Structure 1
Amino acid sequence: MKNITYLTGLMMSLALCLTSCEGDLEENPAGNISIANFYSSEDDAVAGLYGVYNSVYSLYGNTAINYGEVNADNATVSPNVSDLFEWDEFTYSNEVTEGFWRSAYDGINLANEVALYTAEIDFDEEKRADIVSEAKALRALFYWHLVRTMGGVPIYETPTIGFDAVDTPRATADEVYSLITRDLGEAALELPETSLAGRLNAHIVNALLARIYLYRNDFENALVHAKRVIDSGAYDLFDDYAHIFKTEHNNGIEHIYQIQYLSGERNNPIPGSFGPRALPGPYGNSFWANTVVGGSIAPSIEFTDDNPISYRRSVTIADSYEHIDGVTGTITMEEAYGPGVYPYYVSKFDDRASELQSGVNFNVIRFADVLLIAAEALNEVDPADNNKYIWINRVRKRARNGVETDLPDLAGLSQDDFRTAVLEERRFELAFEGQRAWDLKRRGEFLTVMRAQGKNVEDYKLLFPIPNNQVRLNPNLTQNEGW
């Protein structure tokens, strides 16, 4: 169904090319003239596009987990480490978004270059239009991450040249969303329905639009775009929930859009971030994996207490594991760390044999998410339509894996009870995939939930800060209130 080809090698080749040509590209601010001269053929346009995709990596992996999970109620920092403590306790400074901001705007500028210069190259009209549309859709993806994180930000639709537009003020959030939905809407009509793994196509763009419209509480449009994906017949659920997160099932039937990783070339840091970190003691420093892993993030007590018994839960978190040596046998978390210290770890991303060179792809959006988006949106648009139960119960049926007493089908709920049910279903189905904080924020429940967990979260921390360095550089760039 989908042509499974990795972009990683192409991206690495591009990076090496750009590095080897560094001396030729240092004549700023005339550098953009060199960039313009680079775009002279279809191959150049494709190479430029892969450069934009290379920037997309900065949005996902640990970045998505920090902003969407550690900054919410599902995850907490492992009691054995403190390297993410400021995220867990909402004590980060107003410099925390500097790298995120720079990466996003680097990606936006690269996308603008591709869109502008590709349009001037003489090659097949349809292919040219696809590349331009794909670049603009990627630009929209960067803006989507910026606006939901920090609110309105400066908009650039053409490449920056020298010091032009360094004093561009912030657009409103509505203006940024208007650009995002315009570019993605055009891409949904322009792009083909299939693509190489890791590249956007019409179905992926429709899935992203469904998520964005849901975040905006535009339920009618969220439903329209979710149904386009569902009705396409291009995707389905894996029979086994565990298959979603395994290297051998990358780019499978459920994966609408994944960030591509390849072990030994571009490694996914997520398995090592969630695996339990070894401490000095009877099991040595390599009991869970062949090396000592980062082990920074653990499931919160609230998550483990609230997560109902099911096969899905058994895949998501674990209280024991087999020693990596294959001899010692089963070790419980209590044996390794002591009673109550670290009773569970997040096991759904386990790639123990190669955790520091993991080739597991990162899920940006998958079919279960789209089913839940459709169910939630339909509950708001037409609560009497029973298709909402068909969609949510497909997810629950897979999660119980044949055990009929677990997660029974939902039926006959009030509109408000269904709202609660679908939010909880998203919490456990999409756990630790970077969605939880954003779901709570769009539903207006973030502050209440986090304060109930004992966290001191001021109202203004619904938004992250504009980096101080950017405010100093741009006199027209105002800081978010409270920062």
Structure 2
Amino acid sequence: MKNILKNTPKLLLAAILVCGTTSCDDFLDLKPQDTRTEDNFYRTEADAREALTGIYDVLQWNTVTGYHPTPMLLDIASDDAYAGGGSRTDAPNIIEVDMHNILTTNLEIHGLWRKHFFGISRANLLLSKMENIEASDAVKARLTAEAKFLRAHFYLDLVRFYENVPLVLEPLVEASEFSQPQAAPKAVYDQIAKDLEEAIPDLPETTLAASQGRATKWAAKALLAKAFLFYNGVYGQNLETGSITVDAPRTLQHLQDIITQSGHGLLPNYADIFTPAGEFSVESVWEIGYSDENPWFDWGFVHGGEGNIQPQMQGPRLQDPAAEQYQSGWSFAPATQSLYNAFEENDPRREATLLLETELEGSIDRGYQHTGYFSQKYTTANAYKPTAGQQELNWGNNYRAIRYADVLLMAAELAVKSGGGTPQDWLDMVRDRVDLPSKPATLDNIYQERRVELALEGQRYWDLLRRGINVADQAISSTQIGPFYTGDPIDYNIDFKPATNGFFPIPQSEIDLSGRLLQQNSGY
């Protein structure tokens, strides 16, 4: 991350913060890069901060196995984007996600699994060592809270992707421990809520800019709201931490705390959010940072750098970049006609969200599933052009994971569902920012506002699933052909598979490594 990750000694962290639950072989054979080992490392405050940085580092990883930027894959799985790329054979694993015909041997899906368990493993290890760290109680409480926030962060994405995952809360030391059974989804979600509720009191009441990109109280409250909305929507239950029930009123109170106490707000100009100047802005409640400050060249270990591969993947394939305001990309995740049509005609968010083929000065190479619409939010804009290293590997576009507008819309939704609050005011704030008239704060209008406000930010797929499989099926399986579409119409025919309930398959290699202790998800 910018500010806190650029000086991380990554080879050391790779050696001492070893592995996920079942696939540990990659790191177990590494020799320590200096005299520090796990036995003598976790002693000082500096050691603990370095280990914490190693957990944050995993948030950046999008290439553990294959290319799997989380927001991009979620958009492709939704009705907002197709797979795209250069051709039908360019990235078959990503096309499987688009077509909802995912093989259990899909490498991108395996990469996602491994990434999240790497992060969980690192968090577990630091938490297990915290008691012996030589630091003040206040420092240890803050570092513990951040580690719990990060563990909850990794588990929330993991359980939303795969549903049936092992729940591991301690370091796995012996080989006999590496195969862990799947937990009930409720146990995982309840642990997420427990970690966040325990972290909230010890996290700072600051903006991300003031915390230098580290977790804040407000980020934890917002992440807990996301966990509740998804779990309650899919399973119809509250979250239980043992001593606290996280229900709709408690979740709404967390969101109202952000609205009234955090100092966060909306940027006046929507398009400014996704510029370098908009990073860690007052609107970002949680953001994952990237940077070109550690120039990287290694295609064999892409996530060893600090760059964000998603802009490179999503940029248009320009024939003459010198004539454009962009560098040439790989044309993955072209946006759908359905998303274009979702915006009101006078909504400035459409122009800030979508880069149209007709806006480019020169010619482009039209790739697979070409629609004429590219992401404007995470793309190869010259403003983000890397200053050093292999250009494709060093894009510094931060990912705005939770924005204040998202908080307002979550609060409006909960208030309509459960009563309390001022849902009309919160919806109006989002629309006022882009000079659109008020609309009644109904659930349908709030869901529609979420789609256009948060478009191509990796939120749509979760929103569809939590509203019900029928809603997801109707949205994703309904395909529109637009005026710029190029290629065989069958390439745009997406067929959602309700039998999977929208979850990804457990990687077959993990099932095999577990001695078939892990069971495959339904529909695969």
Please state which band the TM-score falls in when normalised by the shorter chain: 0.7 to 0.9
User: Is 1:456 the equivalent of 2:492?
Assistant: no
User: Is 1:219 the equivalent of 2:254?
Assistant: no
User: Is 1:90 the equivalent of 2:96?
Assistant: no
2:223 corresponds in structure 1 to: 208
| CA distance in structure 2 between the partners assigned to 1:276 and 1:27 by the alignment | 40
SS of 2:228 mapped into structure 1: helix
1:403 corresponds in structure 2 to: none
1:477 corresponds in structure 2 to: 518
User: Is 1:447 the equivalent of 2:473?
Assistant: yes
Give yes or no for contact 1:76–1:88 (8 Å, CA) kept in 2. yes
| CA distance in structure 1 between the partners assigned to 2:14 and 2:178 by the alignment | 26
| CA distance in structure 1 between the partners assigned to 2:80 and 2:157 by the alignment | 21
SS of 1:75 mapped into structure 2: coil
Alignment of 1:101-140 (within 5 A): 101-140=113-152
Give yes or no for contact 2:326–2:380 (8 Å, CA) kept in 1. no
2:71 paired residue among 57, 65, 82: 65
Alignment of 1:37-436 (within 5 A): 37-58=40-61, 62-78=68-84, 80-82=86-88, 83=91, 84-96=94-106, 97-194=109-206, 196-217=211-232, 218-265=247-294, 266-278=306-318, 284=320, 288=324, 291-309=327-345, 310-320=347-357, 330=361, 342-353=371-382, 354-355=384-385, 356=392, 357-382=394-419, 387-400=422-435, 407-411=436-440, 418-436=442-460
Give yes or no for contact 2:2–2:291 (8 Å, CA) kept in 1. no
2:4 paired residue among 7, 11, 22: 7
User: Structure 1 254/273 Cα, relative in aligned 2: closer, same or farther at 3 Å?
Assistant: same
TM-score, structure 1 as length reference: 0.85
| CA distance in structure 1 between the partners assigned to 2:323 and 2:97 by the alignment | 27
| CA distance in structure 2 between the partners assigned to 1:348 and 1:26 by the alignment | 39
Whichever residue aligns with residue 132 of structure 1, its letter is T
CA deviation after TM superposition for structure 1 residue 341, in Å: 5.5
SS of 2:475 mapped into structure 1: helix
| CA distance in structure 2 between the partners assigned to 1:294 and 1:262 by the alignment | 20
Give yes or no for contact 1:212–1:222 (8 Å, CA) kept in 2. no
Alpha-carbon displacement from aligned partner over 1:429-465 (angstroms, at most 9, x marks no partner) = 0011111100000001212212223422222331111
| CA distance in structure 1 between the partners assigned to 2:366 and 2:133 by the alignment | 61
User: Structure 1 155/348 Cα, relative in aligned 2: closer, same or farther at 3 Å?
Assistant: closer
Q: How many residues align?
A: 449
User: Structure 1 476/307 Cα, relative in aligned 2: closer, same or farther at 3 Å?
Assistant: same
| CA distance in structure 2 between the partners assigned to 1:144 and 1:21 by the alignment | 25
Give yes or no for contact 1:30–1:162 (8 Å, CA) kept in 2. no
Give yes or no for contact 1:184–1:209 (8 Å, CA) kept in 2. yes
| CA distance in structure 1 between the partners assigned to 2:200 and 2:13 by the alignment | 31
| CA distance in structure 2 between the partners assigned to 1:225 and 1:386 by the alignment | 12
Alpha-carbon displacement from aligned partner over 1:11-42 (angstroms, at most 9, x marks no partner) = 3xx204446999xx9679999x9414311111
CA deviation after TM superposition for structure 1 residue 320, in Å: 4.8
CA deviation after TM superposition for structure 1 residue 349, in Å: 3.2
SS of 1:234 mapped into structure 2: coil
User: Is 1:35 the equivalent of 2:76?
Assistant: no
2:300 corresponds in structure 1 to: none
RMSD: 3.0
- Structure 1 unaligned blocks of 5 or more: 324-329, 401-406
| CA distance in structure 2 between the partners assigned to 1:107 and 1:68 by the alignment | 19
User: Structure 1 80/207 Cα, relative in aligned 2: closer, same or farther at 3 Å?
Assistant: same
| CA distance in structure 2 between the partners assigned to 1:376 and 1:146 by the alignment | 24
Alpha-carbon displacement from aligned partner over 1:80-106 (angstroms, at most 9, x marks no partner) = 544332222122211332111111111
- Structure 2 unaligned blocks of 5 or more: 18-26, 233-246, 295-305, 386-391, 480-492
User: Structure 1 286/337 Cα, relative in aligned 2: closer, same or farther at 3 Å?
Assistant: farther
TM-score, structure 2 as length reference: 0.79
Whichever residue aligns with residue 46 of structure 1, its letter is R
User: Structure 1 457/349 Cα, relative in aligned 2: closer, same or farther at 3 Å?
Assistant: closer
| CA distance in structure 1 between the partners assigned to 2:201 and 2:249 by the alignment | 18
Report which stretch shifted further, 358-367 or 418-427.
Answer: 358-367
User: Structure 1 290/433 Cα, relative in aligned 2: closer, same or farther at 3 Å?
Assistant: closer
Alpha-carbon displacement from aligned partner over 1:120-154 (angstroms, at most 9, x marks no partner) = 22320111122122212211111111111111311
Alpha-carbon displacement from aligned partner over 1:297-341 (angstroms, at most 9, x marks no partner) = 211011112221211112111335666xxxxxx4588xx769x95
